[in-house]
Chains A and B, each alone.
Chain A
């Protein structure tokens, strides 16, 4: 019998799952339901749309012909409800779709602080293409913008607005940028670059209210009683997995939709993956959340295999991301955090992993050279995490040493005793221990 697969979500986890299912099941009916009236696009690329680096049409990496070639049906609609017993979903326009296997790859949405004026049109977040279009539209007539929040998205918003020639102020609640993940010198490196881009960084500022006049944002008020005039407020305090559908269907949820290590939820025929899912990591026995493009693709692939019966438990790799933060190319891999709470983020931001905040028992080897900085965290027999800023010579070697859990005892003492030689030592060691083509 032909199996009917319905995938809710047209992002990286959903589309990768659909493509994976098609590779294993040539006859199955695969339907992807997304609530945006566009084909698949690069969400991380929205940052480059805001800076004017690429035009909007460049974001679409899989045209409709790609769906057709793989016989993936794409429907546009908002899913209103799931009926787990009846094995069907209902869309807001009344249509219903029957499924044998359902995947919820519905992502996360940006949170907003609960303060007066937060729902005004001039207050923006960056979840999707429509948000980016709105920001660009508002930026055309804005003179001054404020950005609050932390992580990568806040800086992307600040840089995007500055690139649109809006006077941009980045407000931080404490004294430095992304304190849960970066060390003080790394924060300074980013803040210095933001200042070079004429973004004004304010420390110790806590947002109290958005001030409006005739429905338009005219200023923000801070908890210390100051008022800063602005036409636009961009907010990036974190994201929240979309849980409404799962809760309504009676699925087990926590911070995200709970799944086992095969992405199955508490209902045997419903799966979840990507930013919406809180997935059991068999390595630690804990459930984890990530908000990373590469993780969403890995999960989409593994979930797709499980949906069509290829038994494939998830093997979670050390989460990593390479991106520009304030113009500084930065690689983050594994556990690099201080364990401290991040005051500017209430949850994960996009392009973020809870793994980076972890503080493991490790020795930090640091190499500083002007605008370049390297921090490698040495566990007893492997590298548990690394931050590479600026010079990316070690980005790829560290990615493979950490993700491959390579035993570093042959060079560990050398690294601790002579940290100035860290680049040569690790580069050479990686070439000797991992396949040459990989590094």
Chain B
């Protein structure tokens, strides 16, 4: 199973807050962005709205393997 996470590169962030303003769940994306931390919020839908709206290319969606396929905790489900 593959999920995604919003990653941030702080050197591009100017703290304008467009990301946070547009997050449908009100996650404070900006604080993650300015600190260069992934948006590790369990409520994040990974809808990509913040990624698309950031005028500086600070954010990107990156695939993250939640479960290693070879060691799936759900046998038979890939």
**Could you tell me which A residues sit within 8 Å of B by CB distance?**
42-45, 48, 53-55, 58-59, 61, 293-294, 322-324, 329, 331, 392, 395-396
Contacts and interface: CB of A to CB of B under 8 A. Distances in A.
A54 B14 contact: no
17 contacts: A44-B15, A45-B14, A48-B16, A54-B18, A54-B21, A58-B16, A58-B18, A58-B20, A59-B16, A61-B31, A61-B34, A294-B11, A294-B12, A322-B12, A329-B55, A331-B57, A396-B60
B57 A395 contact: yes
Nearest to A48: B16
Given A294-B11, A396-B9, A61 B57 contact: no
Contacts, number: 53
B15 A323 contact: no
Contacts of B57: 322, 329, 331, 392, 395-396
A277 to B, nearest CB: 19
Given A54-B21, A58-B20, A58-B21, A48 B55 contact: yes
B14 A44 contact: yes
Contacts of B14: 42-45, 293-294
Contacts of B78: none
B48 interface: no
Given A61-B34, A323-B56, 8 more contacts: A42-B17, A58-B16, A58-B18, A61-B31, A293-B14, A331-B57, A392-B57, A396-B60
Contact of A59 (B17, B34, B55): B17
B36 to A, nearest CB: 11
B55 A61 contact: no
A54 B12 contact: no
B62 to A, nearest CB: 8
B9 A61 contact: no
Interface string B9-45: 1011011111011000000001100100000000000
Contacts of B18: 45, 48, 53-54, 58
A42 B15 contact: yes
Given A54-B21, A58-B21, A61-B30, A324 B16 contact: no
Given A54-B21, A61-B30, A61-B34, A323 B55 contact: yes
Top 3 nearest A-B pairs by Cβ distance?
A45-B16, A44-B14, A61-B15
Contacts of B17: 42, 45, 54, 58-59, 61
A324 B55 contact: yes
A370 B9 CA distance: 28
Contacts of A58: 16-18, 20-21
A392 B56 CA distance: 10
Contacts of A294: 11-12, 14
A53 B30 CA distance: 15
A393 to B, nearest CB: 11
Contacts of A323: 55-56
